[in-house]
Amino acid sequence: MFKFNPKTTPPTLTTLKTYLIDDGCHPWGAIAPDDKSSLLVTTYAGGSANSGTIGKVGFAGNDFKVLVNLESTTGSGLYGLTPANSAGRHFGDATAGGRNDDGVVYWVTGSGGFKDIHSFGASTSPTVGLTLTINGVCGVTPHGGTSGDGTVFCQNEKTPYTFTNEANFVLAIFGGTPDVPLLELPSGPLVTATSVGAKNNEGALDSIDLGLGPSVSLVEEFAHVGDVEGVIGEGLSLTASTIVLSSGVTARFTFVNEEGTYGEFVIPEGTATGFNDVSVLTSGSTIPSVSVTPVEVYPSTK
């Protein structure tokens, strides 16, 4: 595991962690910031049962410890973690293990809390990481579903963790074997890509509209008071948009591009530390009530 700084001349790469087999091996997938000083990282294999690990390490590579040693019963072959939701839970999936040895969906916290919330069956093992949505978490499987060409699934956090098969890929139409993590678009649909089938038998870029509604994305998952945060969305306005953070403070864009798809604001004084939901209000629009993954704010360093 390494840290890369493109701003230095020349750019610098710093090795944060060299894995030993008991720590885990083959760290694949997304690394998730957990708090102001540490990261969570998964491995595909290694650990006490050679089924992979979830580890925690300081930003400087310090104080590495294994939080969870996966076993065949809990999951095996991990594909990274989502950012934390407002409850501090990161979601991940595994390609094997669980009740049917077809993989699992789980959540983990930075203090080592861990729970499997779904065991896949019928050879529908996921092979890429998950995506946070308003309702919980969604992902893709490369196989399975009504046509055997893959699925989009979701785990609804509010029901709680009800597993649903949301969409089925059909090789000849949308392509099959989706192998790209879902990305939520500002307009609401999720996007992934298939690698085979569709019109030219080379796969397709597919959207799946689960009715999630419009959203914006934040560029930085962490920010200090006084830092610039980037927002990607549609219909952003320098004069008619207000940014509202859940700690009760508001901000205005300091920059919006001509297309109204990118804006910047400064995390204002008075923002409570910790997770902050952020909403963007545009003049004349109804205020959406729910945000998905908040920015985690820390005191100013200036």
Partner 1 sequence: MKKLQISFAMLMLAIAVSTTVARAQKTPGGVTPTALYNFGTHADDPINVQGSLALGRDANLYGTSIGGGAFANGTIFKFTFATGKLKVLHSFAGTDGQSANGVTLGIDGNLYYVAREGGANGFGTIGRIDQNGKNFTTLFNFTNGSDGGAPWGP
The footprint of partner 1 on residues 232-261 (CB under 8 A) is 232-236, 257, 259, 261
For the bound state, the minimum distance from the C-beta of residue 285 to partner 1, rounded and expressed in Å, comes to 4
**What is the spatial distance between Cα 231 and Cα 216, in angstroms, rounded to a whole number?**
7
Residue 162 CA to residue 241 CA, distance in Å, equals: 36
Closer CB to partner 1, 45 or 116, in the complex: 45
Stretch that binds partner 1, among 88-96, 108-116, 162-170, 266-274 (CB under 8 A): 162-170
Asked if 226 touches partner 1 (CB under 8 A), the answer is no
List Cβ neighbours of 120 (8 Å cut-off, separation of 6 or more): 98, 100, 102, 103, 104, 105, 126, 141, 144
C-alpha distance from residue 202 to each of 100, 176, 179 (Å): 31, 10, 13
Among 87, 286, 301, 302, binds partner 1 (CB under 8 A): 286
Distance CA 274, CA 63 (A): 22
Contact with partner 1 (CB under 8 A) among 48, 72, 159, 201 = 201
Close Cβ partners of 10 (under 8 Å, ≥ 6 residues apart) = none
Among residues 100, 123, 147, 156, the one that binds partner 1 under rule CB under 8 A: 147
Q: How far is the CB of 255 from partner 1 (least distance, A)?
A: 10
Nearer to partner 1, 101 or 121 (CB): 121
CB of 78 to partner 1, least distance (A): 12
Kindly state the smallest distance separating residue 73's Cβ from partner 1, in Å: 26
Q: Which of residues 167-186 bind partner 1 (CB under 8 A)?
A: 167-170, 173-175, 179-181, 183-186
Q: Does 151 bind partner 1 (CB under 8 A)?
A: yes
Decide: is 35 part of the binding site for partner 1 (CB under 8 A). no
Parallel/antiparallel/unpaired status of strands 65-69 and 53-58: antiparallel
Beta bridge partners of 244: 250, 279
Q: Is 50 in the site for partner 1 (CB under 8 A)?
A: no
Residue 292's closest CA among 91, 140, 40, 84? 84
Which 113-142 positions form the footprint of partner 1 (CB under 8 A)? 132-134
Checking DSSP bridges between strand 131-132 and strand 114-119, what pairing results, if any? unpaired
Q: Following DSSP, what letter does each residue of 164-188 receive, concatenated?
A: EEEEE--HHHH-B---S--EE-TTS
Residue 150 Cβ vs partner 1, minimum distance, rounded to whole Å:
10
Build a one-symbol-per-residue string for 76-95: x at contacts with partner 1 by CB under 8 A, - elsewhere: ----x--x------------
In the complex with partner 1, the residue whose CB is nearer, 29 or 47, is 29
For residue 279, count other CB atoms closer than 10 A to its CB: 17
Q: Which of 128, 118, 131, 23 is nearest to 67 (CA)?
A: 23
**Quick check: 23 binds partner 1 (CB under 8 A)?**
no
